[in-house]
Amino acid sequence: MTEKSKQIEGRTGPWEIVLGLEVHAQVVSNAKLFSGAAVGFGAGPNEQVSLVDAAMPGMLPVINRHCVEQAVKTGLGLKAQINLKSHFDRKNYFFPDLPQGYQISQYKHPIVGEGEVIVEHDDGSTFTVRIERLHLEQDAGKMLHEQDPNASYVDLNRAGTALMEIVSMPDMRSSEEAAAYVKKLRTILVYLGTCDGDMEKGNLRADVNVSVCRPGAYEKFRETGDFSHLGTRCEIKNVNSYRYIQQAIEYEARRQIEVLEDGGKIDQETRLFDPGKGETRFMRSKEDAHDYRYFPDPDLLPLDLDPAWVKAIEATLPELPDAKKARLQSQYGLTAYDAQVLITEQARADFYEQAVQGGSKGGRDAKLTANWVTNDLAARLTAGGLDIADSPIAPDGIAELVQLIEEGVISSKIAKDVFERMWAGEGSASQIVDKQGLKQVSDTGELEAIIDRLIAENPGQAAQVAEKPQAIGWFVGQIMKATQGKANPGVINQMLKAKLGG
């Protein structure tokens, strides 16, 4: 992406967007961060609330070791600094869904320090987003306003649930880059097993910080680290889809440009995105850190991690997306694009590897297998609203189908019909081909008889081939029609060229 393409034309000249994201990722854990209450989606209101979550007098928080391990694992996956010493702070603010009157979070001493994420553009090029920090904190509850016209209700099921807040540096310069960053971050977290990435349930959501500046100002910021070169930022809270992230950024950037070009100034504030209207609206004035009156939580000891424990966690890390992409390219000779599409979902990449290594003779054509997994199968799954784990066609089914194409038993066109029948549960690829009589005709004797008849019946068409080789296509079409699409295209082309000289 060029510097020019990042610019937005205003009435008074070009502007540029500067973006930093705070991604809240719910930790995969059976219990909350500081209590033994269950974590899960779909329970009735206030059914998963302990006395600690409800902030009953005298209740003390106890750290969940598994949540700490998940945060460390995530930090390692982000190639980040793991801080062996960190502590929890109280972040003071008052809201009905926060019964303590404060949130237990981390401020100056987070569990994870600086890291980075390498993100892919659609054209295959990459850019790097620096991670400033990752800290652990507890989630708040939820306000329900639709139950009663005269009252609001509070559901504390989510209160105390462990969140990882992953804070980026302002390294993104367009709405596309921001969405691509969240997509890549989600992929990493799901591979690690530290967050399920379910954006619809709010288990992964982003606070998007948006500001605008004139061309050249961002470069001065990167050279000096001085934020004064950048415009005043507004934070858009809790955006939970890639499309909404892009829409919110584009609307907010335009809004800020209009305010500035009209001679106004941008107020530092928190805003909400309204998907129905496609616009952001004012929520509250944006607080600075000192407004929260952070101080170390007196009920919790500082976290002191054993380096050997961190090393042991590192040894359990799975193959992460970037490493898997590189291996798929080197091991199977895939293009960067094909490998990228496959690794976007871990289950898809695993399905592909099982398929490409399958078949009765082992080792299928890598590119052909990738095409079936990422195109035909993916389209069918999307249309059916299914995950690849629920696919009615198993990896060895795709492998068998590809093997039949490779061996010339069926053509690629016939394979489409076979695939649809496999999806409908009519049997394996081989069973369907045998039952429906779909084997490709490669018998040269049978094909030669058809070719000779067509040449004899159409001498004018045959004579044209010598002058215009593409005229051979007419014969190919007629032979395919005569064989109900079962003739082997490679064989008939060879035979026609031998007889007609095309």
Long-range contacts of 402-405 (CB under 8 A, 24+ apart): 402/355, 402/359, 402/364, 402/365, 402/368, 402/369, 402/372, 403/359, 403/360, 403/361, 403/364, 404/429, 404/430, 404/433, 405/368
Are the beta carbons of 449 and 443 closer than 8 angstroms? no
Instruction: State the Cα–Cα distance between residues 237 and 270, nearest whole angstrom.
Output: 7
Q: Which tokens hold the place of 412? A: 């690629």
List the one residue out of 334, 319, 385, 392 whose CA is nearest residue 364: 334
> What confidence category does residue 263 fall into, taking pLDDT thresholds of 50, 70 and 90?
very high
Give the pLDDT confidence score for residue 4 in this predicted structure.
53
Q: Which tokens hold the place of 29? A: 């854990």
For the chain, counts of helices (H) and of strands (E): 17, 16
Mean pLDDT across 47-60:
95
439: pLDDT strictly greater than 90? no
List the one residue out of 97, 487, 171 whose CA is nearest residue 495: 487
26-40 per-residue burial string, b: 16 or more CB within 10 A, e: under 16? bbbbebbbbbebebe
Per residue in 163-208, pLDDT (tens digit) is 999 999 999 999 999 999 999 999 999 999 999 999 999 999 999 9
Are the beta carbons of 478 and 454 closer than 8 angstroms? yes
Q: Which segment of 82-86, 286-290, 310-314, 435-439 scores lowest on mean pLDDT? A: 286-290
446: pLDDT strictly greater than 70? no
Give the pLDDT confidence score for residue 346 in this predicted structure.
94
Give the pLDDT confidence score for residue 53 in this predicted structure.
95
Mean pLDDT across 373-394:
95
Main-chain dihedrals φ then ψ at residue 54, nearest 5 degrees: -85, 0
Express as a percent the part of the chain with pLDDT over 90.
76
